[in-house]
Amino acid sequence: MIADTDDDTDLDVDCLDHRRAPRRRGDALIEAIFEATLAELGEVGYAELTMERVASRAKASKGSLYRRWSSRVELVADAMAHRRPHDIELPDTGNVRGDLLGFLRQLTEIHDGPSGEATHGLMVEVIRHPELMKAVRLRFIDPAIAMALEILRRGAVRGEVRPTALTHRIASVGPSLLRQHFLLFGAPIPDSVIYEILDEVLMPLIQASPAR
């Protein structure tokens, strides 16, 4: 979590590039640190990423990082969140299929966007680092599942979704299948994949039984 601080005033004896660089403040400093974090993540992976490497690459002091983030887990999670193209908006098309389609497309934009490659590397690293898995789940996976569950809940109110489909497991199916495709095949995710997930898996899984 980013703490309120002033400018980058600490000078590390082992960070000569920083001492020669113009001093940055506020948002400019944060942006440089996030860019350096994602670049390091893409090049060396989470296992080799250190606060010192990020500071050197960002031409910042280690102190400027440690004042804001107590660990590399927090730093990586904030950097990934910062690069998301936008916050996902809950669609409201009036029907559950349209809402799910809009929701899955927004998730796809995140995978296909600027942070896609870093996201791919991050998801690979979580297998070996449980503490990173927890951060990723809390910051990215759980919120997406909560939004999918809300879409299903609205559909159930309209009679489009069977009430027994309002579970965490079923709500996780769409985001999980998109994430799996991204990890296996990379970006961009074709629109046809979204429709396959929607019409071949999600809709048959959640649809209410037709009235007799």
Closest CA to 152 of 67, 62, 91: 91
8 falls within a domain: no
| 55 Cβ contact list (under 8 Å, min separation 6) | 12, 15, 18, 33, 36, 61, 62, 64, 65
Q: What is the tally of structural domains in the chain?
A: 2
What percentage of the chain exceeds 90 in pLDDT?
Answer: 50
Residues 111 and 71 in one domain: no
pLDDT at residue 153 greater than cutoff 90? yes
91-120 confidence digits (pLDDT tens):
999 999 999 999 999 999 887 765 666 666
38, 50, 104, 172 from 176: Cα distances, Å: 23, 29, 11, 6
Residues 52 and 133 in one domain: no
7-64 confidence digits (pLDDT tens):
454 444 344 444 455 556 678 999 999 999 988 887 887 778 899 999 999 999 999 9
> How many of the other CB atoms lie within 10 Å of CB of 199?
13
Residues 116 and 200 in one domain: yes
Determine whether 92 is exposed, middle or buried from the number of CB atoms within 10 Å of its CB (0-12, 13-18, 19+).
exposed
133-143 confidence digits (pLDDT tens):
887 788 788 98
DSSP state of 69: -
Q: Would the pTM of this model clear 0.75, i.e. be above it?
A: no
